[in-house]
């Protein structure tokens, strides 16, 4: 065999092997910046997105991020049509990673509205807007929302869409909705983006923060292995200092969680 042909094979064969061994992973979510941010109609960056990219590229996993309404993404993941979800509500439908961080959800109203949340009893006389299939505390309040959805409670409005959080804020600013439940860091980002921080006030928060995880569908044949790989990579990301750098990039601090 010609020397140059042999040399070409030596160079090319390892690259073919690498491509064959590469795992492809599709994770979906709606827009939820600063955790999941978009450009145009595509997920492009955000704390969870950037951290996941860094973790998975070192494990030879090719990550694709899909912008979808969260309720639709949850269905597609359960059907095995996508692999998993960024920051799903905590449930046994997914094999979940270790938490990357925690996020506290709070109630927001227009400044002239005097209503305040202290516990679930305060919700009886008012109408609250949430996003369908969002996780808010990974515990008792999510269970309350699940029951409200099943019973079709009139005072809990479940909204959908791939930019549902942004739409809800616009409706609140226009005073077309009364009360909005949203994660504090997300609300801060949206109001700062619109320069509307003066119009809205925080009216109380849930007791428990939501663990933000990566969830791989139980229907995925390698879900446990992928999550184990992710957890190992997350530990390395923290130890390297890159995790702290990402937190700072997206203005996420401990007092937000």
- Non-local CB neighbours of 54 within 8 Å, separated by 6+ positions: 233, 237, 242, 246
- Indicate the domain borders of the chain: 24-101+211-256, 104-208
Residue 197's CB is within 10 A of a number of other CB atoms, namely 12
* 129 three-class SS: strand
Q: Is the pLDDT of residue 203 over 90?
A: yes
The domain defined by 24-101+211-256 folds into D-Maltodextrin-Binding Protein; domain 2 (3.40.190)
Buried b (16+ CB within 10 A) or exposed e, 21-53: eeeebbbbbbbbbbbbbbeeeebebbbbbbbbe
What's the whole-number average pLDDT of the chain? Answer: 90
Alpha-helix residue ranges (DSSP H) falling in the chain? 3-21, 47-57, 70-78, 140-151, 164-173, 184-194, 223-240, 242-249
Q: In CATH terms, are 24-101+211-256 and 104-208 the same topology?
A: yes
Q: Is the pLDDT of residue 90 over 60?
A: yes
pTM, two decimals, is 0.87
The domain defined by 104-208 folds into D-Maltodextrin-Binding Protein; domain 2 (3.40.190)
Q: Is the pLDDT of residue 2 over 60?
A: no
The reported pLDDT for the residue numbered 3 is 42
């Amino acid at each position: 065999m010609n020397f140059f042909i042999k040399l070409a094979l030596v160079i090319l064969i390892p690259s073919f092997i690498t491509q064959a061994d590469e795992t492809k992973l599709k994770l979906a979510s709606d827009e939820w910046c600063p955790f999941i941010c978009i450009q145009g109609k595509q997920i492009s960056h955000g704390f969870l997105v950037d951290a996941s990219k860094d973790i998975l590229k070192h494990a030879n996993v090719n990550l694709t991020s899909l912008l979808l309404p969260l309720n639709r993404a949850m269905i597609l993941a359960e059907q095995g049509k996508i692999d998993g979800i960024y920051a799903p509500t905590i449930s046994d439908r997914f094999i979940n990673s270790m938490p990357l961080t925690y996020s506290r959800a709070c109630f927001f109203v227009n400044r002239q509205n005097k209503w305040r949340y202290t516990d679930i009893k305060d919700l009886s006389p008012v109408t609250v807007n949430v996003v369908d299939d969002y996780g808010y505390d990974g515990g008792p309040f999510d269970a309350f929302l699940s029951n409200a959805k099943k019973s079709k409670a009139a005072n809990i409005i479940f909204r959908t869409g791939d930019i549902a959080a942004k739409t809800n804020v616009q409706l609140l600013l226009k005073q077309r909705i009364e009360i909005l439940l949203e994660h504090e860091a997300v609300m801060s980002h949206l109001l700062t983006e619109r320069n509307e921080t003066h119009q809205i006030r925080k009216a109380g928060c849930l007791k428990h923060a939501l663990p933000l995880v990566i969830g791989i569908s139980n229907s995925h044949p390698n879900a446990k292995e992928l999550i184990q790989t992710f957890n190992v990579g997350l530990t390395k990301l923290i130890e390297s200092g890159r995790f702290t750098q990402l937190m700072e990039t997206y203005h996420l601090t401990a007092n937000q969680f």
